């Protein structure tokens, strides 16, 4: 039962989530680079360059076992999660920027995720030709990440009224299915999860806190507006753990590789909420004035 939930349920849940993202997107959402070039450029550099470097540093600091180290890098390479826009909305961020960043990040991640993951395999598990993401597996990643999004966008283009009607049901369905699948995955792998949670809890919480902080502070250093910095913070700090778990378990056939993302996926929500209240209190006037 647990195995079926993982091998069938997780990809289905991710597909519905990414399809729901596509239903909310149009081609105009990809033009945010022209509207807010600095905010987008800074966020993308943080996401694609700074965070993998930070993650690598944490792995070395905590001396993680090789398989868990690769799992952490897979998590770091995953794009922002679809719930980033929800957190941004709750804490007065620029939700339009979130949607655009998620759209752009999802496209870029289809290429960068296999590259970063393969680099992690080369560093931590060298010489094992049975692992890693070869061309066929890279195409699987590409299809998993972009296929449902493109389908959702096509539905929105052809049937905008239908897309609007389906937005809420798809969100609810994806949340329910994802909850069932995660519970099933935890139950079926409870022993291996419990054996590693002590090793992974602190590093995943630290990674989440650093990701959120980098996503907020670096844009502010470059004089990006507070609302855009809040959006950037949640986009960078809330990784798509579901995507990382699906790739680990279905593309790479490894439960161990998915453990960092599984632990992170549970712990990131309270951390993100606490961080949201912190930055909301730190910059109430500019955020409220811009909202």
Lowest mean pLDDT among 127-141, 191-205, 250-264: 127-141
According to DSSP, the residues that pair with 290 across neighbouring strands are: none
Q: Give the tens place of pLDDT for each residue, 139-148.
A: 666 777 678 8
229, 88 Cβ separation under 8 angstroms:
no
Mean pLDDT of the residues in the chain: 81
Note the pLDDT of residue 286: 45
pLDDT exceeds 90 at position 69: yes
What average pLDDT score do residues 2-9 get?
A: 56
pLDDT level of residue 185 (50, 70, 90 thresholds): low
* Polymer length in residues for the chain: 291
Q: How far apart are CA 83 and CA 104, in angstroms?
A: 16
What is the percent of the chain with per-residue pLDDT over 70, rounded to a whole number?
79
What average pLDDT score do residues 94-109 get?
A: 82
Residue predicted with more confidence, 275 or 3: 275
| Backbone torsions φ then ψ of 239, nearest 5 degrees | -80, 155
Cut 0.75: pTM above it: yes
pLDDT level of residue 288 (50, 70, 90 thresholds): very low
Q: How far apart are CA 243 and CA 250, in angstroms?
A: 10
According to DSSP, the residues that pair with 239 across neighbouring strands are: 80
What average pLDDT score do residues 106-114 get?
A: 84
Residue predicted with more confidence, 39 or 191: 39
Domains defined along the chain, listed by start: 2-282 (1.20.1530.20)
């Amino acid at each position: 039962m647990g195995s079926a939930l993982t091998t069938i349920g997780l990809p289905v849940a991710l597909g519905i989530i990414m399809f729901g993202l596509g239903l909310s997107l149009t081609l105009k959402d990809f033009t945010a680079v022209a509207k807010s070039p600095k905010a987008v450029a800074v966020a993308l550099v943080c996401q694609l360059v700074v965070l993998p470097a930070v993650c690598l540093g944490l792995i070395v600091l905590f001396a993680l076992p090789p398989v868990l180290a690769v799992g952490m890098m897979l998590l770091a390479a995953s794009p922002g999660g679809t719930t980033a826009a929800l957190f941004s909305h709750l804490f007065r961020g620029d939700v339009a920027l979130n949607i655009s960043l998620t759209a752009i990040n999802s496209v870029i991640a289809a290429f960068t995720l296999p590259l970063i993951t393969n680099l992690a395999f080369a560093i931590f598990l060298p010489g094992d030709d049975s692992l890693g993401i070869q061309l066929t597996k890279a195409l699987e990643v590409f299809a998993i990440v972009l296929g449902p999004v493109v389908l959702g966008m096509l539905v929105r283009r052809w049937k905008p009224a239908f897309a609007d009607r389906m937005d809420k049901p798809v969100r609810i369905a994806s949340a329910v299915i994802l909850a069932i699948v995660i519970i099933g995955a935890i139950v079926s792998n409870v022993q291996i999860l419990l054996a590693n949670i002590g090793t992974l809890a602190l590093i995943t919480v630290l990674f989440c806190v650093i990701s959120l902080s980098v996503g907020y502070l670096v844009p502010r250093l470059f004089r990006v507006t507070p609302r855009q910095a809040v959006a950037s913070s949640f986009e960078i700090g809330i990784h798509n753990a579901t995507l990382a778990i699906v790739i680990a378990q279905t593309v790479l056939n490894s439960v161990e590789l998915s453990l960092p993302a599984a632990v992170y996926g549970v712990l990131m929500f309270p951390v993100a909420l606490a961080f949201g209240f912190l930055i909301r209190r730190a910059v109430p006037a500019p955020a409220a004035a811009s909202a």
